[in-house]
Chain A
Amino acid sequence: MPSKAGARLMQGNEACAEGAMAAGLRFFAGYPITPSTEIAEELALLLPKAGGKFIQMEDEIASISAIIGASLAGAKAMTATSGPGFSLKQEGIGFASYTEVPCVIVNVQRVGPSTGVPTAPAQGDVMQARWGTHGDHPIVVLCPSSVAETFALIIEAFNISERWRMPVVFLMDEVVAHMREKVTVPDVSQIAVAERPRPQVSPEQYLPYAAGEDLVPPMADYGTGYRYHVTGLTHDQTGFPTTKRIEVDALTRRLDAKMRMAAPHVTFVDEILVDDAEVVVFAYGITARAASRAVRDARAQGLKAGLIKAKTLWPFPDEHVRKAAERARAIVVPEMNMGQLVREVERAAAGRARVVGLSRVDAEPITPDEILARLREV
């Protein structure tokens, strides 16, 4: 049941749940944890009304395993958690990544590591979202900075996941998750929804991991007569395990090439006043909101500042940073961690501009004044 179109006051977590429903979510399994709990609460109400399934599982590992199973059976599936649960889900994320099972994993970041400060915001899981599961694997990580963006971006998360057959991590923070803002919900006819590619051949001819030109193998729903094997072991086109060097190499390289092919379609970045900027802020999540104000204040004081707001963190938007670094003298990277994406910005800037981090890790968001002060220094 799509939510009613029009302007409404919505919480970030609520927008995540309602956006997921608009994208076609039909199965949620989770183990509620602060500050993500409202996502589960909302979906417990919405999913049964839409003929979907909501299951509160016994733990986080079971939750991600359940959504992988649901997705194999053809349902758009999601789980939601926070840091401690995200750590537990890494095993399943690796499985979904290697077996190319579409699913969305929401992680509402809180102060960590371990139990940390459950009710307070942080941005400490950026690298974990990229590299948390073992092995060489591509992944898409999206990060909203407002409630309206949460609604729109979670739909993209599903579309990317389905279109490219890959798990997508939706990385929120406690502030965006718990704040309420006006969201103008579009009419359901205005929302573009993608579906996974399904086989065009008979079950007898079906090779579950044979990909065409777009490198995405068509995916059959379990229970529809297409019987195939899914394993976390390295597999060949038939889905059965292999240790042949040529096939081991081919699978890792195809997954990497698929990510490269998808990259232009999954990279969402807003550039604000970057064209003539002498100093640029690179920010994401709630920090991008403070950065937006800082840039406006800097301009009012005669300092030509600009903002690169990354809504896609992975694959990292190299090109946007490279271009900005050619013109600007410095790029400031405020993060609620001790410096995670600042190193990626440094890599992409490749010495063309000075890159300066700004860390805040006291369980409070970075303020516009802190960013403005750093902009004036560089």
Chain B
Amino acid sequence: MHKEIRLSGTGGQGLILAGIILAEAAVHDGREVIETQSYGPEARGGASRAEVIIADEAIDYPKVGVADVVLVMSQEACNRYAAQVKPGGLVVVDETNVKSVPDVAGARVVRLPITDIARHEVGRQVTANMVALGALVGIAGLATPEAAERAVRERVPKGTEELNLKAFRLGMELAMERARERARERARERVREASDAT
């Protein structure tokens, strides 16, 4: 395994914490990992991104170029990073904040109402990062759910563990539901193709 992941959005969305938790989950899974981050001088509102590389072999260069998996949580981040994805890669879009997605030829785009779920189903918008993390783990299999949940418990502020885990699990479920829909759709396509062929 060698996956390069970029989590992008605006300052205050908790993307760096999400990156750290993903990286820690990879350590629990016994993998090599590296996490880097970049942010403007503002604490909130500026562009923010975290990059994580998870691999079975030692990792030399820590920065992500063209990524395998991209999360975009703001329109600005989407405009900047959505297209920097490998063919066959994955772009996860928070459709609450992102209205238009540029052409990402060859990559799969999954639109999820990440911030809406945090706001309405978890009840706290600040947990959007954990919903996103759950979705990434669910769709892309970047970490085992056990390792990810352990990392969430260890890294979120004391007293907020259950709230954050709830958000994480809702994100996982959302991803699973989308995966099931996709599987059903594919099955239908195969049936159509088969009947067309006959």
Contacts and interface: CB of A to CB of B under 8 A. Distances in A.
Interface in A276-310: 286, 289-290, 292-293, 296
B61 A292 contact: yes
Given A8-B27, A119-B40, A181-B62, 17 more contacts: A7-B27, A7-B30, A9-B23, A9-B27, A119-B39, A119-B41, A179-B36, A180-B20, A180-B34, A182-B32, A182-B33, A289-B62, A292-B61, A293-B60, A293-B61, A365-B63, A368-B60
B63 A367 contact: yes
A173 to B, nearest CB: 12
A180 B23 CA distance: 8
Contacts of B37: 178-179
Closest 8 A-B residue pairs measured CB to CB? A292-B60, A180-B35, A293-B61, A9-B24, A293-B60, A179-B36, A9-B27, A181-B34
6 contacts: A179-B35, A179-B37, A181-B35, A181-B62, A292-B60, A365-B63
Contacts of B62: 175, 179, 181, 286, 289
A118 interface: yes
Contacts of B24: 9
A52 to B, nearest CB: 25
A9 B33 CA distance: 8
A292 B34 CA distance: 16
Contacts of B35: 9, 179-181
Contact of A290 (B23, B33, B61): B61
Nearest to A176: B62
Given A9-B27, A180-B23, A367-B63, A175 B41 contact: no
A9 B34 CA distance: 9
A7 B25 CA distance: 12
A293 B33 CA distance: 16
Nearest to B51: A179
A118 B59 CA distance: 27
Contacts of A286: 62
Contacts of A7: 27, 30
Nearest to B62: A179
B192 to A, nearest CB: 44
Nearest to B22: A9
A179 B27 contact: no
Interface in B23-78: 23-24, 27, 30, 32-37, 39-41, 59-63, 65
A8 B30 CA distance: 10
Interface string A341-378: 00000000000000000000000010110000000000
Interface size class of A (residues with CB under 8 A): 20 to 34
Nearest to A181: B34
B150 to A, nearest CB: 12
A7 B26 CA distance: 11
A287 B10 CA distance: 28
Nearest to B32: A182
B33 A181 contact: yes
A370 to B, nearest CB: 11
A118 B30 CA distance: 34
Interface in B81-110: none
A119 B30 CA distance: 31
A118 B33 contact: no
Interface string A291-333: 0110010000000000000000000000000000000000000
A290 B60 CA distance: 7
B187 to A, nearest CB: 40
A178 B36 contact: yes
B36 A175 contact: yes
Nearest to A286: B62
Contact of A179 (B30, B34, B39, B40): B34
Contacts of B61: 289-290, 292-293, 367-368
A118 B39 CA distance: 11
B156 to A, nearest CB: 15
Among B24, B27, B41, B62, residue most surrounded by chain A Cβ atoms (within 10 Å): B62
Contacts of B65: 367
Contacts of A368: 60-61
A178 B19 CA distance: 13
A118 B32 CA distance: 29
Contacts of A178: 36-37
B3 to A, nearest CB: 15
Contacts of B59: 181
Interface string B1-33: 000000000000000000010011001001011
A368 B36 CA distance: 17
A365 B37 CA distance: 13
B17 to A, nearest CB: 12
Nearest to A182: B27
A41 to B, nearest CB: 15
Contacts of A292: 60-61
B27 A118 contact: no
